[in-house]
Every structure is written in C-alpha cells, then in structure tokens.
Amino acid sequence: MEPNQPLSPDEEFETTLMEVERSLIKVKERYKTVQQAQKQKLDLEERLNTVPSEDTTELEKIKEEIQQLTIDLETNLLNDQDLNTLFWQGIRQGLLGEVFWQIIRFGGLGVILGWLLRTWAGK
C-alpha cells in the first residue's frame, strides 16, 4: 500500500482503535504511578508526625522527600503534550486575545491622553 493512498474505513478504525489502546495503557501507567506516589507521600507525612522534633536532620530529610513527591505528582498529572494542548487551547479561547485587546485599549488611551496633554501644555 502506498503512503498517499487513503485508508479504508476498516483500516482507519483499526488504526484509531490501536491509538486509543496505547493511550489507555499510558493513562493506566500514569494513574498507577500517581497512586504509588500519593501513598508514599501519606506514609512520609505520617512518619513526619512521629519523628521527634529534636531530630532536625530526619525532619528535613522527610520534608524534602515530601516536596519531591509533590513535584513528581504534579508533573505526572500533566505531561508535555497535555501542557502544550492546554496552552494552545487557552490561546484559542481568547486568553492571548484578551491581553492583546487590553494592550490596544490602554495603549491607545495612553497615546490619546499624551497627545491631549501635549496639546494643552503647548497653549
């Protein structure tokens, strides 16, 4: 089959189905990773409460581990593709457009006020 030849409906369905299956496997793996990290974080928080306050090195070590797990959890929830998609969706939905129009509005207002002040100051 040539690369430019369109796929039949059955072939297109099979290709799409395989992509969905791969995506599902990735989601399951990420979910399992997140669950393990959450359990580990809870265990560390419990351990943090049981460590005597005099043992500052142990307390600091546990706090660092909790912080690292928190970062890992946040990064596992959104991968690069998800962040890229969210970024472009935000732009399409007007986030950048709204900022653009505010710059135009207030920048234009500043130019007009500057022109008026210059005109009044010149008289």
**pLDDT value of position 27:** 76
pLDDT tens for residues 20-49?
888 778 878 878 888 888 899 889 889 888
Q: Which portions of the chain are predicted below pLDDT 70? A: 1-3, 75-101, 123
* Beta carbons within 8 Å of 90's beta carbon, 6+ residues apart: 96
67: tokens are: 């912080």
Distance CA 28, CA 32 (A): 6
**pLDDT value of position 76:** 65
114: tokens are: 């500057």
